[in-house]
Amino acid sequence: MATIRKRENGKFISYETQIRKLGYPAQTRTFKTREAAEKWARMVETEMDRGIFVSRAESERTTLAEALDRYLTEVTPSKKGAIREKDRINRWKNRPLAKCALAAIRGADLAKFRDDMRKAGKAENTIRLELALISSLYETARREWGMEALANPVKMIKAPGGSNKRDRRLFVGEEEYLWKGLHEAAPGNIYIVPCCQFAVETGMRQGEILGLEWHEIDTKRCVAHLSDTKNSDPRDVPLSSRAVAIIAALPRPIEGGRIFPVSQDYLIRVFSRGLSKARSHYEEAFNVTDKHPDPKMLTGMKFHDLRHEAASRLASLLSATELAKMMGWRTIQMAMRYYHPRAEEMAKKLG
């Protein structure tokens, strides 16, 4: 039988509800109204009578911020994208929902977060990744932290729509401006431009390139061995003569180590800054002519688009299965996301 006690603290009134039943730990919770207290007591007692009660006490006293701290310590370090996930966790901890108990966060709260992100102009994939972190946290809390009764609010809302497949390729003349802009964006850094050129030559992912070490390069066989990949499947990547030349021009420490010793965040920032500088140079080239610069040139580009460019160039040289093998795709369907040959190139093949 539930016991409800009225508590008065100056102007504030609350109702402390306690439930004691043989075979179950005592349950105590405080509410602002007696109606809410009685409703909770009926629900808990019914679940106990049916033998399906699971304590929600821990999820009711653990805030999202506290859970994120634990997740960051226990789960994040084992992930390949640990650095980026740490950034997402820090963003969540600065949001109002971080102060709420896990059990108090509803699907409606996350639906509002999703809609607010859309209004702010965030990409659907960005929103999906932010919500995926929260979903993973709730599932971890349910399965491993003893919060079995905790419902995952992310599953209660409509997931963000998939982002449009990117088919951004380098336009004619973009490379020259891009390399110049990147060189100016990182003066004194000898690795940024070669790193981006190596991406175009090999189609390797950003993390694979930044993690590549000297001992993994076989210049005689013209092969780079990747032991740590996105899908965890090691693979050998064939290197063109230009890719080998790019690496050969870099200083090689006696003790070895990474070929491109720059951080992911630094590379992303420099690429964005270099793209802006490249666009400025491109626009300056039109100051002495009557023509107008193309609004698409040197805009809307990401480092990952260099992988798209590489795949499209290699598509004219390799079969679909060879291309999938080189790029590290497990299925041909995945290859089609990156395979974007120009129509005029296919027309030439047709004669």
**Residue 125: which CATH number?**
1.10.150.130
H or E segment and range at residue 200 = helix 192-202
Which residues does 155 contact at the CB level (< 8 Å), separation at least 6? 107, 135
Q: Which of 101-115, 144-158, 308-322 has the highest mean pLDDT?
A: 101-115
Digit-coded pLDDT (tens) for 172-225:
889 999 999 999 999 989 999 999 999 999 999 998 999 999 999 998 899 999
Domain boundary among 34, 53, 72: 53
Pair (126, 215) in one structural domain: no
Centroid of chain to Cα 263 = 16
| Cα gap 259→284, rounded to integer Å | 35
Taking residues 302-313, report their average pLDDT: 90
Q: State the pLDDT at residue 91.
A: 94
Pair (191, 300) in one structural domain: yes
**Residue 196: which CATH number?**
1.10.443.10
| Cα gap 318→323, rounded to integer Å | 6
Pair (194, 235) in one structural domain: yes
Pair (343, 228) in one structural domain: yes
Which residues does 229 contact at the CB level (< 8 Å), separation at least 6? 205, 208, 235, 328
Taking residues 267-292, report their average pLDDT: 85
Pair (135, 219) in one structural domain: no
Q: Which is more confident, 328 or 40?
A: 328
| Cα gap 318→88, rounded to integer Å | 38
Digit-coded pLDDT (tens) for 158-173:
988 765 566 788 888 8
Domain boundary among 130, 156, 182: 156
Domain boundary among 156, 191, 206: 156
Pair (218, 341) in one structural domain: yes
Domain that holds residue 41: 2-53
Q: State the pLDDT at residue 180.
A: 94
Integer distance in angstroms from the first to the last C-alpha of the chain?
Answer: 86
Digit-coded pLDDT (tens) for 254-271:
888 999 999 988 999 999
CA 298 vs CA 91, 290, 344, 348: distances in Å = 30, 20, 22, 27
Q: How many CB atoms lie within 10 A of CB 109?
A: 16
Pair (197, 281) in one structural domain: yes
Amino acid identity, position 218: D
- pLDDT higher than 60, residue 290: no
Pair (44, 140) in one structural domain: no
- Considering only CA atoms, which of 348, 321, 343 is closest in space to residue 333? 321
H or E segment and range at residue 88 = helix 82-93
| Cα gap 22→3, rounded to integer Å | 15
Band (338; pLDDT cuts 50, 70, 90): low
Q: Based on the structure, what is the number of domains in the chain?
A: 3
* 24-38, 208-222, 272-286, 308-322, range with the lowest pLDDT: 24-38
Pair (226, 336) in one structural domain: yes
Digit-coded pLDDT (tens) for 9-63:
777 888 888 878 777 777 777 777 888 888 878 887 887 777 766 666 677 778 9
Residue 311 in domain: yes
- pLDDT higher than 80, residue 301: yes
Residue in this structure with the two tokens 């929902």, named with its chain if needed: 97
- Considering only CA atoms, which of 120, 191, 108 is closest in space to residue 157? 108
Band (295; pLDDT cuts 50, 70, 90): confident
Q: How many CB atoms lie within 10 A of CB 257?
A: 11
Pair (117, 229) in one structural domain: no
- pLDDT higher than 60, residue 313: yes
Digit-coded pLDDT (tens) for 89-131:
999 999 999 999 898 899 999 999 999 999 998 888 889 999 9
Pair (140, 231) in one structural domain: no
Pair (198, 239) in one structural domain: yes
